[in-house]
Amino acid sequence: MTYATQSDLTDRFGAVELAQLTDRVNGSVIDVTVLGRSLSDADAEIDSYLATRYSLPLASTPVVLVRMAADIARYRLCADGVPDTVLQRYQDAVSLLKRMASGEVQLAGSTVLAVATTGSGNAVHTRTPTRTFNADVLGTY
């Protein structure tokens, strides 16, 4: 599932900025391959957090994930010299993803995975030999 699109990034950051970040030759045209890779990377990063708590793929994309995917993709495009605002927005997105993964923040309209509270039911049984030295034996010396 793609959380954000080229159009989402263009709406948020402008075509000029995206061209400067993706066109490594002239900085004048949006390179859709480079942009697509950063969007895929953003999706994978988001999924890595959400997969611990939510059933993926999500039925629909919440607006908050579109924003976070855009911020993450933009951060990934700024390989050299990340501006402070871009870094802060990335860190905010990761922080919110961590809170979603822990359950502190709920992702509205998404199916939460069942969490086992008593273990998997696969108990481990071990056997040990009878103790040679114990408190009774050692107490006689």
pLDDT in tens, 4-16: 999 999 999 999 9
Domain tally for the chain? 1
Do the domain assignments include residue 56? yes
65-103 pLDDT, tens digit each: 999 999 999 999 997 889 999 999 999 999 999 999 999
Is 69 domain-assigned?
yes
> What is the extent of the structural domain holding 11?
6-115
Q: Which residues contact 115 (CB under 8 A, 6 or more apart)?
A: none
Structure confidence at residue 117 as a pLDDT band (50, 70, 90): very low
Give buried/exposed letters for 6-24 (b at 16+ CB in 10 A, else e).
Answer: bebbbebbeeebbbebbee
Q: Residue 120: which pLDDT band, with cuts at 50, 70 and 90?
A: low
Q: Is residue 88 part of a domain?
A: yes
Using DSSP's 3-state secondary structure scheme, residue 75 falls into helix
Q: How many angstroms separate the CA atoms of 116 and 55, rounded? A: 15
Q: What is the pLDDT of residue 38?
A: 97
- % residues pLDDT > 70 (the chain): 80
Does some domain include residue 24?
yes
The CA distance from 69 to 17, in Å, is: 17
Q: Establish if 121 belongs to a structural domain.
A: no
